[in-house]
Amino acid sequence: MTSECQFSDCFHDNEPGCAVLARLEAGSISRERLESWRRLRDEMAELDDLLEAQARKRERTGRAPRN
């Protein structure tokens, strides 16, 4: 679905020139499909945050304390 849009990090929310929004307007994409895509994206973002936090934690604990 993201490949349908010119923006790689588009939320397909109110970005001008968003191809997905254009298709939604035209009726070729259902609002339900867009909503489910957004939920999936939110979950992926949460997973990203979690992995990043874990990486930072590993980085902190992997080094000797400065003081």
Q: Which residues bind Zn ion (CB under 5 A)?
A: 5, 10, 12, 18, 20
- Cβ-contact 3, 9 below 8 angstroms: no
Q: Tell the smallest beta-carbon distance from residue 49 to Zn ion (Å).
A: 22
- Cβ-contact 18, 10 below 8 angstroms: yes
Which residue, 32 or 59, has its beta carbon nearer to Zn ion? 32
Which residue, 45 or 50, has its beta carbon nearer to Zn ion? 45
Q: Tell the smallest beta-carbon distance from residue 13 to Zn ion (Å).
A: 8
Long-range contact set of residues 30-35: C-beta below 8 Å, sequence gap at least 24:
33/1
